[in-house]
Amino acid sequence: MVDVDAPTLDHRARGSMPDSSRSTAAPAPAKSETRSERKRRCILEAARALFADHGYAATSIDMVVERAGVSKPTVYGHFKSKDDLFAAAVQAQADAFTGHTCEVMSLPAEKGIRAVGQMYLDMVTGAEALAMHRAIAAEGHNFPELAQTFYESGPARVAGIMEEYLRALDARGALAVPDPGLAAEMFLGMLRVAFYRAVFGLPNTARCRDVVVDEAVRVMLSAYAASAPAGGGQEQRE
């Protein structure tokens, strides 16, 4: 599956989702950014905006070229195909999220779980993320590889991060989590109440999201509370 404007090129699915704002502007580039890196960033910013606005099928490489202000050979010099560009766009969105999640790994259980929940909802309910989700939902049956890329880049990656955090909490004795992978999926499943409201355009204020996160955190802490040590008093939860 390649873009009609492209030469015969292979598809390489990579994984992960996000920057929750509608703006496609990336963080201010480092002073050491090279000319090639600047062009790659401009291409990705243009692609993210176009994929969100028009979907995958309706976005052409020519549209990316025009919006990014570069030549077609420059685009193909950085990305082998439209598939490859889409995967990189999703990856860039996810990298912003995972950069923040690294900060919560050492937090106490309640604060850390709440932080991941809030960041996750900020990510998936942003205008750009919702537009990408709707595009994949509409076109995924025609482009299964892209649907797989999107899933691995967003939901699966976030679930993996949450699983790692719950595993660490279990190892520290803060919680008792026999299956961190399942627990992570269940936690994200509870948060999707707010996500679905956003997908369907229903009222979904920050207060609504906070209520959902608070309840999901309460359920997690209750379900996975550490057992009392054999010697007596219960170990204090972090």
Give the ranges where the chain is alpha helix by DSSP (H): 35-54, 61-68, 72-78, 82-101, 109-124, 127-139, 144-153, 155-172, 180-199, 206-223
pLDDT digits (tens, 9 = 90+) for 59-118: 999 999 999 999 999 999 999 999 889 888 877 776 766 666 667 888 999 999 999 998
Sign of the Cα pseudo-torsion (177, 102, 48, 76, in order): negative
Mean pLDDT of the chain: 80
Tell me how far apart the alpha carbons of residues 110 and 39 are, in angstroms, rounded to a whole number: 42
Q: Which two tokens stand for residue 149?
A: 């890329």
Q: Give every CB contact of residue 103 below 8 A, 6+ residues apart in sequence.
A: 115
Token couple for 148 = 């797989």
In sequence order, the 6+-apart residues with CB closer than 8 A to the CB of 153 are: 14, 15, 16, 17, 87, 90, 91, 93, 94
- The whole-angstrom separation of Cα 9 and Cα 88 is 16
Taking the domains of the chain in order of start, what are their residue ranges? 35-223
Question: In the structure encoding, which two tokens stand for residue 194, read together?
Answer: 């707010």
Which tokens go with 165?
A: 């955090």
Inter-residue contact 21 to 126 (CB < 8 Å): yes
Question: In angstroms, what is the C-alpha Rg of the chain?
Answer: 20
Local confidence pLDDT in tens for the 238 residues of the chain = 334 343 322 333 333 333 333 334 444 455 688 999 999 999 999 998 898 888 888 899 999 999 999 999 999 999 999 988 988 887 777 676 666 666 788 899 999 999 999 888 888 888 878 887 887 787 778 778 878 877 887 778 888 889 999 999 999 999 999 999 999 999 999 999 898 888 888 877 888 889 999 999 999 999 999 875 555 444 445 5
The pTM of this model reads 0.69
Distances (CA, A) of 228 to 112, 183, 233, 236: 22, 21, 6, 9
3-class secondary structure, 2: coil
- Residues β-bridged to residue 175: 225
Give, to the nearest 10 degrees, the angle between helix 82-101 and helix 109-124. Answer: 150
Partnered with residue 225 across adjacent β-strands are: 175
Instruction: Provide the CATH topology of domain 35-223.
Output: Tetracycline Repressor; domain 2 (1.10.357)
Burial 43-60 (b: 16+ CB within 10 A, else e): bbbbbbbbbbeebbeebb
